[in-house]
Amino acid sequence: MEVYILNKFKWKYPFMLSLASLSLFSAGYLLTPSQVAVAHASQQIKNDQKLTTDPQKCNVTFSGTTALYTKPAFKKGAQEVISKVALKSLAKSDSSADNFVAYRQAVTTTGQTYYKIVSFDGQYRGWIYGGKHAGKFAGGLKPFTTFKEIPLSSNLSKYTFNIAAPGLNNDGKSVTYTEPLNTVYGAGRTVGDAVAYKDAAFKVDKMGTRTREGDTWVHITSTDPSAAKANGWILYKGLSQAEDPRSQDAIRIDLVNSKGQLIKYIDYKKSGAQSGQTLGSSYSNDGTMVWLLGASDQRKIQDAVRDALNGTGYALDALSINQTGYLSEATFGGKTSLTALPADPIPDNAVRVNIEDQNDAVIGSFDYTRDGATAGQTLGTSSQLSSDDQNAIQSDIKKTLKSTGYALTSLSPDQVSQLANAGFGSSVYLKTTTRTNEIADNAVRINLVDSQTKKTITSFDYTNTDADDPAPKGSNLGVVSGDNWSLKPEDQTAITSQANAALDGTGYSLTDNKLANADLAALSAAKFGNAVNVSVSANKQAPQTASK
Q: Would strands 250-256 and 335-339 be described as parallel, antiparallel, or unpaired?
A: parallel
325: β partners? none
Q: Is the pLDDT of residue 155 over 90?
A: no
Distance CA 373, CA 350 (A): 8
Q: Which of 296, 298, 289, 203 is nearest to 253 (CA)?
A: 298
* Band of pLDDT at residue 355, cut at 50, 70 and 90: very high
Distance CA 526, CA 272 (A): 41
Mean pLDDT, to the nearest integer, of 153-167? Answer: 84
Q: Is the pLDDT of residue 548 over 60?
A: no
Phi, psi dihedral angles at 23 (to 5 degrees): -65, -40
pLDDT value, residue 113: 95
* Band of pLDDT at residue 482, cut at 50, 70 and 90: confident
**Residue 474, burial from CB neighbour count under 10 angstroms (0-12, 13-18, 19+):** exposed
Distance CA 309, CA 332 (A): 22
CATH for 45-143, among 3.40.50, 2.30.30, 3.30.420, 2.60.40? 2.30.30
Least confident of 13-17, 83-87, 217-221: 13-17
Letter for the amino acid at 263? I
pLDDT value, residue 10: 35
Q: What is the mean pLDDT of the chain?
A: 86
Distance CA 514, CA 519 (A): 10
Distance CA 101, CA 126 (A): 11
Q: How many CA atoms lie within 13 A of 217 on its CB side?
A: 28
Least confident of 17-21, 234-238, 449-453, 464-468: 17-21
Alpha-carbon distances of 463 from 194, 397, 401, 526, rounded to whole Å = 47, 21, 15, 12
pLDDT value, residue 468: 63
Mean pLDDT, to the nearest integer, of 1-30? Answer: 38
Phi, psi dihedral angles at 119 (to 5 degrees): -75, 155
Name which residue leads in pLDDT, 155 or 484.
Answer: 484
* Band of pLDDT at residue 286, cut at 50, 70 and 90: low
- Cα 7 from chain centroid? 61
Q: Is the pLDDT of residue 17 over 50?
A: no
Q: In three state form, how does the secondary structure of 303-346 look?
A: HHHHHHHCCCCEECCCCCHHHHHHHHHCECCCEEEEECEECCCC
Reduced to 3 states (helix: H, G, I; strand: E, B; else coil), residue 389 is helix
Q: Is the pLDDT of residue 82 over 90?
A: yes
Reduced to 3 states (helix: H, G, I; strand: E, B; else coil), residue 86 is helix
What pTM does this model have?
0.51
- Structural class in CATH, domain 147-241: mainly beta
Q: Provide the 10 A C-beta neighbour count for residue 321.
A: 15
Q: Give the DSSP letter of residue 547.
A: P
One DSSP character per residue, 103-116 reads EEEEEETTS-EEEE
Q: Is the pLDDT of residue 466 over 90?
A: no
pLDDT value, residue 285: 66
508-547: pLDDT as tens digits: 989 877 889 999 999 999 999 999 999 999 987 644 444 3
357-400: pLDDT as tens digits: 888 889 999 999 999 999 999 999 888 999 999 999 999 999 99
- Cα 378 from chain centroid? 35
Distance CA 441, CA 97 (A): 53
Reduced to 3 states (helix: H, G, I; strand: E, B; else coil), residue 263 is strand
Reduced to 3 states (helix: H, G, I; strand: E, B; else coil), residue 197 is helix
pLDDT value, residue 18: 40
Name which residue leads in pLDDT, 451 or 20.
Answer: 451
pLDDT value, residue 441: 87
* Band of pLDDT at residue 15, cut at 50, 70 and 90: very low
Q: Could you give the residue range(s) of every CATH 2.30.30.170 domain in the chain?
A: 147-241
